[in-house]
Amino acid sequence: MTAHALHCYPSQPALQLIADKKPSADDIYSRLFDAILEHRIVPSSRFTEESLAETFGVSRSVIRRVLTRLSHQQVIVLRPNQRAQVAAPDAQQTRQILEARRLTEVTVVQLACAQATPVHIGKLCGLIARERECIERDQRGAAIRLSGEFHMQLAVMAGNGPLVQFLNSLVPLTSLVIAQYKAQACTDCAWQDHEAMVNAVEQRDSNAAVKLMTQHLDYLESKLLKRH
């Protein structure tokens, strides 16, 4: 990464340490992904493990694990003997991603309705509350990431491992597209859509949940693809 590739806000250090505890790979993943979504790491920029390790105050091995995770999610492109690079999906890729998500998440939300427990509902509500708070604070990157985590938590709730793995390659990439297209309308109303879905899932109303999920993804597609 060049010296100016990652711009951290002066009032918001790249890393907040709690009681001098070293951050985990999960902590770094969230902060690095937020930096990408907020364009503090710009699309198509290239960076090194060394520069990220220095920026976040962790070892290269931690950064390597985070980059590998982002690579599996197709957010970062890793090639032999080349620096890591942020992906830049085009309109055709975006359309295919959303088509795959629509087909998959209809099944996910049906299964989630059958598996719903108070613990599951509590986790979903917690994500919605954090997502809404980030929007109110204008923390767009974190809001987009948390919106994606809501959909991933639904998949976990559905109890089907292969579906979780498949969505893990689609949801973070969708978050990247939303951020790169600066589709603010996709984030401002997302928590409300998610809240309605949770109500349907809690009531085990699979028909309503499927309808809400389909409408949500249709709206997302209309906002993203009209920009091309």
| pLDDT above 60 for 187 | yes
- Mean pLDDT value of segment 201-228: 90
Banded model confidence at residue 147, pLDDT cuts 50, 70, 90:
very high
- Helix H or strand E segment including 78: none
> How much of the chain, in percent, has pLDDT values that exceed 90?
60
What integer pLDDT is reported at residue 39 of this predicted model?
A: 84
3-state secondary structure 199-213: HHHHCCCHHHHHHHH
Strands of 46-47's sheet in order across: 46-47, 84-86, 76-77
| pLDDT above 70 for 162 | yes
How many domains in the chain? Answer: 2
Assess if residue 128 is contained within a domain: yes
Both 130 and 196 in one domain: the answer is yes
Both 119 and 45 in one domain: the answer is no
| pLDDT above 80 for 16 | no
Both 124 and 191 in one domain: the answer is yes
Assess if residue 175 is contained within a domain: yes
pLDDT digits (tens, 9 = 90+) for 82-95: 888 898 888 899 99
Instruction: Calculate the alpha carbon distances from 96 to 85, 106, 183 in Å.
Output: 22, 16, 18
| pLDDT above 80 for 186 | no
Say how far apart CA 131 and CA 144 lie, in whole Å. 8
- Mean pLDDT value of segment 120-142: 94
Both 113 and 215 in one domain: the answer is yes
- For the ranges 71-75, 116-120, 177-181, the lowest mean pLDDT is seen at 177-181
Residue 202 sits in a domain whose CATH number is: 1.20.120.530
CB 58 within 8 A of CB 31: no
Assess if residue 4 is contained within a domain: no
Both 102 and 179 in one domain: the answer is yes
Distance of CA 190 to the CA centre of its chain: 13
Assess if residue 10 is contained within a domain: no
φ, ψ at 6 (rounded to 5°): -115, 115
Residue 56 sits in a domain whose CATH number is: 1.10.10.10
Residue with tokens 């990247």: 176
Both 51 and 105 in one domain: the answer is no
Of 86, 109, 131, the domain-final residue: 86
Both 82 and 156 in one domain: the answer is no
Both 60 and 101 in one domain: the answer is no
Assess if residue 141 is contained within a domain: yes
What integer pLDDT is reported at residue 5 of this predicted model?
A: 41
Q: Which residues constitute the domain of residue 67?
A: 25-86
Question: In this predicted model, which residue has the larger pLDDT, 196 or 38?
Answer: 196
Closest-CA residue to 155 (of 74, 77, 80, 101): 101
What integer pLDDT is reported at residue 44 of this predicted model?
A: 67
Both 114 and 217 in one domain: the answer is yes
Say how far apart CA 154 and CA 213 lie, in whole Å. 11
Say how far apart CA 14 and CA 21 lie, in whole Å. 15
| pLDDT above 80 for 228 | no
Both 77 and 97 in one domain: the answer is no
pLDDT digits (tens, 9 = 90+) for 27-81: 999 999 999 998 888 766 778 888 899 888 899 999 999 999 999 999 999 888 8
Both 36 and 141 in one domain: the answer is no
> What are the contacts of 63-68 at 24+ separation with CB within 8 A?
63/28, 65/25, 66/25, 66/28, 66/29, 66/32
Distance of CA 164 to the CA centre of its chain: 14
Of 44, 66, 86, the domain-final residue: 86
What integer pLDDT is reported at residue 20 of this predicted model?
A: 54
Assess if residue 6 is contained within a domain: no
- For the ranges 57-61, 78-82, 103-107, 168-172, the lowest mean pLDDT is seen at 78-82
Both 45 and 135 in one domain: the answer is no
Assess if residue 98 is contained within a domain: yes
Q: Name the pTM for this structure.
A: 0.82
- Write out the two tokens for 73: 């999610």
Banded model confidence at residue 183, pLDDT cuts 50, 70, 90:
low
| pLDDT above 70 for 191 | yes
- Mean pLDDT value of segment 167-179: 92
One-letter amino acid for residue 188 of the chain: D
Assess if residue 152 is contained within a domain: yes
CB 202 within 8 A of CB 107: no
